[in-house]
Chain A
Amino acid sequence: MNTEDTADLEQAFQIRIDKEEKIEPKDWMPGEYRRNLIRQISQHAHSEVIGMQPEGNWLTRAPTLRRKAVLLAKVQDEGGHGLYLYSSAETLGVSRAEMIEALQSGKAKYASIFNYPTLSWADIGAIGWLVDGAAIVNQISLQRTSYGPYARAMVRICKEESFHQRQGYEIMLSLSRGNQAQREMAQDALNRWWWPSLMMFGPHDADSAHSAKSMRWKIKRETNDDLRQKFVDQSVPQIDVLKLEYPDPELKWNENRGHYDFGELDWDEFYAVIKGDGHCNRERIQHHVKAHEEGEWVRDALKAYDAKKKARHAA
């Protein structure tokens, strides 16, 4: 294909995007759009799957049978969401095996918040409430993303995620209405998870490497800073209901802006954790590699059994 043809195709592609038409798997798309999507969707999928670990850490220690069942269903859902997302990325011509290899070799990223440790039961509440809460704000926006399979996966995920946030907040409510030890546990969890949750929306728009192009192609629909503000605005009244102290002394309603003001994020910490200074960076990947390697003989057995079955069939 010569450059002129490509230019035409790119123009037709952009017109389609501008008209809010979805892009579907067999459509022509610029190579960079495809690569951008694969990067974002696979990162999203890896985040769901790696995200099973910090909460999975409390599956055997949940305080009641009801909480145990809810948490297991929730962590299982994260796996399911990873599956939906891998499935939508696979429509772009990348295999799940390739994506997993990229994760395990460190080429692909996952949400850095999962490098933080879960130290108390309250962390399970804070993750559901804040981390899932932040994820939902982002995902609601992504229901309108331009790539059809990704948008449809988001619709499905958003529908399922609403219980995740509610169960987390419910844990926080129980703790906040409990005794002093429980309230301290809740406050400590809020203090530790608040800032990393705000960082989930990524760097400021001006510093975001992929933002501009992703917005033009409508892979992303709202900017990092807008989504972050939305999350702060929805969360502060929820902190008030819990009667917990603000994790940020600068959190304050701003009448003029019609939004809450909040303090500057510690971007040094953000990049340090991404680069490997988090408590669990190594553990998360090692855990994933270990489970994957321990599963290898199982997957091999499936292939071998299938081959034997086909051979018997043919005979």
Chain B
Amino acid sequence: MSTEKLELFEVFIRSKRGLDHRHVGSLHAEDHQQALEYARDCYTRRSEGVSLWVVKSADIVASQEDDAESFYDPMDDKPYRHATYYQLPKEVDNM
């Protein structure tokens, strides 16, 4: 029995204008063109989207959990980047 060697693609959908594309899942296809068509058939049967992206799964570079300490922890001690860090008088508090 031959194994299926169609490439794996990740699918992203913009559900309506003004919103970001969101990852929804993956599928197998021969090339980008076919992946786009299958994304339409497999992931938008209920009008879920107005725009589709497909990306070869192998082309995605992901950060590793091992990197988490050096990638994200240093951001935790910079509360001054958040609006809630600043106390303002009540009168202008919704600034």
Contacts and interface: CB of A to CB of B under 8 A. Distances in A.
A touches B (Cβ under 8 A):
yes
B4 to A, nearest CB: 4
A26 B61 CA distance: 11
Interface of A: 26-28, 73, 76-77, 80, 83-84, 87-88, 90, 95-98, 100-101, 104, 153, 156, 160, 292-293, 296, 299-300, 302-303, 305-306, 309
16 contacts: A26-B62, A73-B45, A80-B45, A88-B25, A90-B26, A95-B4, A96-B4, A153-B25, A156-B24, A292-B1, A296-B1, A299-B2, A299-B6, A302-B6, A305-B30, A309-B31
B5 interface: yes
A252 B68 CA distance: 55
Contacts of B36: none
Given A26-B64, A83-B27, A83-B42, 15 more contacts: A26-B65, A28-B65, A83-B25, A87-B26, A90-B26, A97-B3, A98-B3, A100-B4, A101-B1, A101-B3, A293-B1, A299-B2, A302-B6, A303-B5, A305-B30
A76 to B, nearest CB: 7
6 closest pairs, A vs B, by CB? A97-B3, A302-B30, A87-B26, A97-B4, A87-B25, A306-B30
Measured as residues with beta carbon below 8 angstroms from the partner, the interface class of chain B is: 20 to 34
Interface string B17-34: 000000011111011001
Contacts, number: 56
Contacts of A303: 5-6, 30
A80 B25 CA distance: 11
A90 B4 contact: no
Contacts of B55: none
A304 B26 CA distance: 23
